[in-house]
Structure 1
Amino acid sequence: MSQAAALAQRLQEVILDGTWIANTNFKKELNTTSLAQVSIPIRSYNTVEVLAQHIHYYIAGVKQVFLRGELSISDRFSFDFEPLQSDQEWQNFLALFWKNTEELIALIQPLSDAQLDAIFVKEAYGTYKRNIEALIEHSYYHLGQIVLLLKTEAST
């Protein structure tokens, strides 16, 4: 398996269908939730809704780099989302999250090793490989938070 195919598979696992690392994934955790469940504030923590939007923000932003060569997202805005207003909006968001992830996976899979080692937008950001790996690791970090928040909410 190529490096790119392995990275694409890891992104697919954490977001869409894997269980090897965390025994779960975003889609498994979120697909059967309602907006009421994911928007419950627990202490001063980010809600599940915000964490899911946060990860999608990065997936959509990295996808745009692949498609247009420019980075239009910024860390300082990565938690700035208007609250969703209905279960339909939540389901629409999830559908977009899964779709953008699938599209990014398809863009990663065919990359050569040279493309993975190329500069991602500008030198300060490192390589494509480094950014894809960071996206995967960042996703697992927040997946763990989501699992804990959903368990905390269910136990109250």
Structure 2
Amino acid sequence: MENSKQIAIRFKEVLLNGQWIANTNYKDLLSNVTWKQATYQIESLNTIAALTYHVNYYIAGLINVFEGGSLEIRDKYSFDFPQIKSKEDWDELLNDIWSNAEKFASHVELMPEDKLKDAFVDKKYGSYQRNIEGIIEHSYYHLGQISLIKKMIIELKKG
């Protein structure tokens, strides 16, 4: 399970506690984002809340498969989320992503090496390892977007 543990560490780095690749992670980056900042729309860019939901959507979808469920996530629904209208709504989304990140990392860490090589639901989706690494890469991609949007919001509020 050494490979599983290493992959779980990489996942936790981007979501919960790392600094190595991006010098930040979701938990650090979002820790001081207000719900108004999270929902602030800059032209046609996604909001921070939308991107946070989107990343969490995919994490939750893979957890469902890890726990014996079917693959229910679909790209066309990955931005369909309830409006964030208050601090409580934003906190609920953040708590959900942190909880899912911990659960996801735990599943990966305990995954037997041979399971990593197995087909993920259907061989057309590749292996479990490919999908887990895809979530890590996808998360870093959107972490960069969130970081830039956050900086833009801060600069706009100054002016």
| TM-score, normalised relative to structure 1 | 0.97
Q: Report the AA paired with residue 34 of structure 1.
A: T
Q: Over residues 107-136 of structure 1, what are the superposed CA-to-partner deviations in whole Å (9 max), with x where a residue is unaligned? A: 100222210000101111110000000000
Using the alignment, how far apart are the partners of 1:98 and 1:139 within structure 2? 13
Q: Over residues 81-111 of structure 1, what are the superposed CA-to-partner deviations in whole Å (9 max), with x where a residue is unaligned? A: 1211110111111011101110111110022
Using the alignment, how far apart are the partners of 1:11 and 1:100 within structure 2? 12
CA contact (8 A) 1:120 1:128 kept: yes
Does residue 29 (structure 1) correspond to residue 33 (structure 2)? The answer is no
Residue equivalent to 1:7? 7
Residue equivalent to 1:135? 135
**Gapped regions of structure 2 (runs ≥ 5):** none
| TM-score, normalised relative to structure 2 | 0.95
Residue equivalent to 1:19? 19
1:23 Cα shift?
Answer: 0.1
1:76 Cα shift?
Answer: 1.2
Q: Over residues 51-78 of structure 1, what are the superposed CA-to-partner deviations in whole Å (9 max), with x where a residue is unaligned? A: 0000000011100000024111111111
Residue equivalent to 1:77? 77
SS in 2 for 1:71: coil
Does residue 49 (structure 1) correspond to residue 49 (structure 2)? The answer is yes
CA contact (8 A) 1:69 1:121 kept: no
CA contact (8 A) 1:8 1:105 kept: yes
Using the alignment, how far apart are the partners of 1:40 and 1:47 within structure 2? 6
Residue equivalent to 1:61? 61
Q: Report the AA paired with residue 59 of structure 2.
A: I
CA contact (8 A) 1:117 1:129 kept: yes
Using the alignment, how far apart are the partners of 1:16 and 1:101 within structure 2? 7
Q: Report the AA paired with residue 149 of structure 1.
A: I
SS in 2 for 1:62: helix
Q: Report the AA paired with residue 152 of structure 1.
A: M
Using the alignment, how far apart are the partners of 2:149 and 2:61 within structure 1? 25
Aligned length: 156
107-116 vs 18-27, which moves further: 107-116
Give 4+ residue runs of structure 1 displaced > 6 Å after superposition. none
1:31 Cα shift?
Answer: 1.7
